[in-house]
Structure 1
Amino acid sequence: MKRIISILILCVVVTGASAQSKLDQDRAAIKSLAGYYKVTFNYAETFAADTAYKFHPRYHSWGYEWATIVEDSPKKIAIQHLLVVGDSTVIKHWREDWVYEQPTMLQYDKDNTWKKVTLKPAEVKGRWVQKVYQVDDSPRYESIGTWVHVDGRHEWQSKTDSPLPRREFTKRNDYNVLARGNRIYLTPQGWMYEQDNNKVVRSASGDKVIAQEKGYEEFTKVDEAKFAYAKKWWAGQQGYWADARKAWDDIFAKSPSIKLAGKKDGKLLYEQLFDLADKSEKEKWSSDKNKVETIKVINTYVNAS
């Protein structure tokens, strides 16, 4: 009997250590997405069932981006991306939050509307939700997947719906949902974000795919020295944006659905919040004032129900 008990205890210990090791591997992979990068963006439409469809030009761009960790807890890692233009211009770019075994997700529908869905325990066990936010910290898309570490490879895959990508949302109105196939994997030089996307027309009668697209966003490590000005700029801005994230969290927590409006008084939401960030830095607002002023602005753009 003692021998059986000892074996059972050993199995529990080994299983626990293995699970912890996997979680540690996941966390290490996610944290390695942070760093100093040159990013190249390459997209091309590859197939359309309608032979009359006219393929749009391929998209190519590049830039320098600093991805910095702004929150690091055992089951959540938040990474803020900052776009660097020249030696004296920084743009707060997108943010990605990674949350372990999160039971709910914001699911994109259409027309700038997201709905909260509840996942089953089996759907979240051992898996990470990647929550991608726009430059003003409003939602973009969320998706769930499992990090895999095998044969020296570290990768994560998911599928989800999102609004039109930034490269097209001001240029096209022939589709209204991007059905994303996401694959993130680490490389010796940094990491790759590979996509297999469907451009979808979503209506009351269902979904119609008008074209398929292949995308590669390659993050290649570069010299940290290029980002000296970005570090100085972010040091003055990060306090406000930490409070803005808390303001958004309050809205997300109590809202089963969120719909974002376009321009108000001639400005988009990100323009209003960028103005607040500059004003907060200049006038040295308190955290409470940051949150109050931020929620006041957000509420004019967000229809939360």
Structure 2
Amino acid sequence: MKTPFLTTCLTAISVLALAQTTPKPADVAAIKAQCGCHDVDFVYAETFAPDKAYQFKDRYQAKGTELVFVDEERPGKLVIQHLLVMGDSLVIKHWREDWLFENTSLLAFDQNATWKRVKKSPADVRGQWTQQVFEVDDSPRYEASATWIHADGKTYWESTVDAPLPRREYTKRHDYNVMRRTNRHRIMPDGYVHEQDNDKIMRSEAGDQLLASEKGLNTYRRTDEKKCQAGKVWWAKHRAYWVDVRTVWNEVLATRSDVALRGQVKGMVLGRELEDLGKTALASTYDSKTTRPLIRQTIEKYLK
């Protein structure tokens, strides 16, 4: 017969276990707090190199206006889309991030546009959120799992993960092939800060060799929503197509333990082909049933 003390302890343990497998409202609020119309400053500076002969690259700085919004939400998952907005008419589909609660299956970047499926135990990801980051064409980029921290008046999420070269460098540099990113998302009263401590690594059969380290600071400050009106109009027109693109990608990735992508096929790149397909599909009444097979055919051409 259980004693009252033992019964109380078991009940407390059961309640704790339940709490750990239910997303905290504060976590969901923090993820959503990254949304809005933002003026963004992007700053990167190389800070260290083990080789004294290394020539540090110039600091990178850029500015932009970015619309960030939740495009899909269900228990344990939020899909957040980024759009770059330039003036009243030019809109560029930017990166996407999916947040998954207690996700046990992640794609780990290896090198040269290849990823390997990694399985984690439920205990490993208890209370954690996976941030899945995707390219502008919704192909995979990097994924990492960590816990949202709410303490001492601060709210942040931090992880370290291997990733491909950033777009600002991958067409210009060939002296490294992996970026090991420490990403820190800090929620601020007027937006958020994406702080980065990055190692630029050359990966080969001999192992990993550090080329240089850099500090990154992407500061998102909320601004007048009217500055992002063109982005809202653009997404309303293009959403059906890009939802189909990400749906097809999700179906493709779910069936693969490893993923490898070709950079070009007959002189074309995946992003351009998907953009062209979208323009054609949206030129008349959009038909998802007809378009999805064409999206899959396009994506599969770039899969090794």
Report the TM-score, using the length of structure 1 for normalisation. Answer: 0.94
> Aligned AA for 2:169?
E
1:64-143 alignment runs, 5 A limit: 64-143=65-144
Displacement of 1:120: 2.3
Displacement of 1:283: 2.0
> Aligned AA for 1:260?
L
Give the Cα separation in 2 of the matches to 1:104 and 1:18: 22
Unmatched segments (≥5 aa) in structure 1:
none
Contact 2:41 2:61 in 1 (8 A): yes
Match of 1:190 in 2: 191
Match of 1:47 in 2: 48
**1:235 matched to 2:231:** no
SS at match of 1:27: helix
1:126-165 alignment runs, 5 A limit: 126-165=127-166
Q: Which has the higher helix share?
A: 1
> Aligned AA for 1:239?
A
Displacement of 1:11: 3.3
Displacement of 1:12: 5.9
SS at match of 2:286: coil
Give the Cα separation in 2 of the matches to 1:178 and 1:120: 26
Contact 1:82 1:91 in 2 (8 A): yes
Give the Cα separation in 2 of the matches to 1:242 and 1:22: 25
Match of 1:174 in 2: 175
TM-aligned CA distance change 1:116 to 1:2, over 3 Å: closer
1:200-219 alignment runs, 5 A limit: 200-219=201-220
Displacement of 1:290: 2.3
SS at match of 1:62: strand
Give the Cα separation in 2 of the matches to 1:22 and 1:301: 36
Unmatched segments (≥5 aa) in structure 2:
none
Please give the per-residue CA displacement for 1:160-218, whole angstroms capped at 9, x wherever unaligned. Answer: 01110110001100101001111111011100000111000000000000101000001
Q: Once structures 1 and 2 are overlaid, which stretch shifts more, 40-49 or 10-19? A: 10-19
Contact 1:244 1:290 in 2 (8 A): no
Displacement of 1:275: 1.2
TM-aligned CA distance change 1:282 to 1:75, over 3 Å: same
- Give me the identity figure in percent: 42
Q: Once structures 1 and 2 are overlaid, which stretch shifts more, 132-141 or 261-270? A: 261-270
Contact 1:34 1:68 in 2 (8 A): yes
Q: Once structures 1 and 2 are overlaid, which stretch shifts more, 83-92 or 52-61? A: 83-92
Displacement of 1:276: 1.6
RMSD, aligned CA: 1.9
Displacement of 1:15: 3.6
Paired residues, number:
303
Give the Cα separation in 1 of the matches to 2:9 and 2:267: 67
Report the TM-score, using the length of structure 2 for normalisation. Answer: 0.94
> Aligned AA for 2:126?
K
Please give the per-residue CA displacement for 1:35-90, whole angstroms capped at 9, x wherever unaligned. Answer: 11011100000000100000000000010000111111110101000001121000
